[in-house]
Amino acid sequence: MSPYVTVTTSEAQGTTLGERLHGLVAALGAAPVRSITGDGVRATLEIVQKAVAEGRGTAEIPFEVHEVPSGTPVLDWTVPKEWNVRAAYLVGPDGSRVVDIADHPLHLLGYSVPTRARLSLDELRPHLFSMPDRPDWIPYRTSYWNENWGFCLTDTALRALPDGEYEVVIDTTLTDGSLTYAEIVLPATEPAPAGGEPTEFLITTHTCHPATANDNGSGIAILTELAHHLAALPRRRHTFRLLFIPGTIGSITWLAQNRDVVGRIGHGLVLTGLGDRSQPTYKRSRRGDAVVDRAAAVALAETGRPHRVVDFSPYGYDERQFCSPGFDLPVGRFGRGQHGEYPEYHTSADNLDFVSPENLAESFGLLTRIIEICERNAVWRNTSPYGEPQLGRRGLYRAIGATMNRQAVEMGLLWVLNLADGTHDLLDIAARAGIEFDSVTAAVDALAGVGLLVPRDAVSPEGTP
């Protein structure tokens, strides 16, 4: 059995994988109001750290929280002031609270500056945000880089506001503090491949959206579960670096402070929107043909179910930072519904009912399959490239003689021998031969086992590469 096969039931917790993920999404949604900085982010990371520490029998997983001070230059940006919320509400003419962040975290415009004022309804309107086309949903709005304040509410509630004087109470702080992110690094358990190939697999998700189950909670939950999965693997060819970061400014900050790591990144994925009903979707890296791009296409095609593979564009989530031209990292994005393509995006309708245990579990399974393919993919060299080596005397034909599809297995052996010339990786061979990736890896295992294949940069028994 492949070490990557996902176990869907936790004996320790007695829950299915999907239920476990859905439960963590629920816990994350109950965290204090979070944004790109502040105590809400720290509380979110505490939930993640506790879930990681539970372990379910896996080895101890390192979990490091980083604090980057406000004002720190990061590439062309600066780490902003830290934002925290104590209370925020709007009192109507009759003395009742018509909008209160205590009722829903999306009611407050993100990064609203501290404000106390008495305003008429006309004066107040520029600071009220609703969705006329979705009158019963609360929009999610922010003002990170321009000082402003405001409230978000349903359009139904907005249209019902009577004329009169309103009291604005926004008890927030915007002070020098820090930007907070967390990192899990699981070192490779096998020697690094020869030839100076990149050896790290970077996987990230954003932590800055309050009370959005799909756009935020699903990525955090699945990356948390992935930490358990990877830590339990009997072998890892890559070092896995998992980042829980605020969107945009988090990836920019990490890139600015980790220039020594960037050159080691051989594969990368940004995780977003993993629990909704849309078909699984992969967005290619800027390179377009990176190993992770090809691995994701194979993993999705193997399911035989509807899916999408879309080209890179410099719009979206943190993949646009990792794929900026100065870095040009092989980082794609994996999720389901794309930003702005489903009406629930950035609204109160992105709630627990919008994500399902089944879709979360399917997304997790696809993610682990993409990782498995990247881990197994390699470039090999035929040690007997002059003419076709005699497979019969090495016992390979006898080994496959009892299989139901002997011809397919035999063709896998022949294709691998022919294309294992030190320039084609296994994904190349599978595509050229038109056979399944697992058939190629099975052929590699068999041929390497009798000495007919060695890694590309290995030294042959005769002492020459």
Short-list 343, 361, 359, 364, CA closest to 269: 364
Q: What are the two backbone dihedrals, phi and then psi, of residue 60, each rounded to the nearest 5 degrees?
A: -60, 135
Structural element, H or E, at residue 54:
helix 39-54
59, 109, 303 from 17: Cα distances, Å: 19, 35, 19
Beta bridge partners of 240: 186, 201
Q: Do residues 129 and 139 touch, judged by C-beta distance below 8 A?
A: yes
Q: Could you identify the residue written with the tokens 């002070």?
A: 175
434 Cβ contact list (under 8 Å, min separation 6):
none
User: Residues 154, 157, 163, CA angle at the centre, nearest 5°?
Assistant: 135
Q: Binding-site residues for Zn(2+), please? A: 209, 215, 346
Q: Where are the beta strands (DSSP E) in 252-304?
A: 265-271, 281-283
> Collapsing DSSP states into helix, strand and coil, what is residue 167?
strand
Beta bridge partners of 97: 91
Tell me the C-alpha distance between 383 and 57, whole Å: 42
Express the helix, strand and coil content of the chain in percent, nearest 5 each.
35, 25, 45
Q: 191: left (phi > 0), else alpha (psi -120 to 50), else beta? A: beta
Beta bridge partners of 108: 151
* β pairing state of 453-455 and 421-425: unpaired
User: Residues 32, 35, 40, CA angle at the centre, nearest 5°?
Assistant: 30
Residue type (1 letter), 380? W
Tell me the C-alpha distance between 269 and 299, whole Å: 14
Tell me the C-alpha distance between 348 and 331, whole Å: 30
User: Residues 23, 26, 31, CA angle at the centre, nearest 5°?
Assistant: 130
Q: Binding-site residues, please? A: 209, 215, 346
347, two tokens: 């609204």
453, two tokens: 């294949």
> Collapsing DSSP states into helix, strand and coil, what is residue 451?
coil
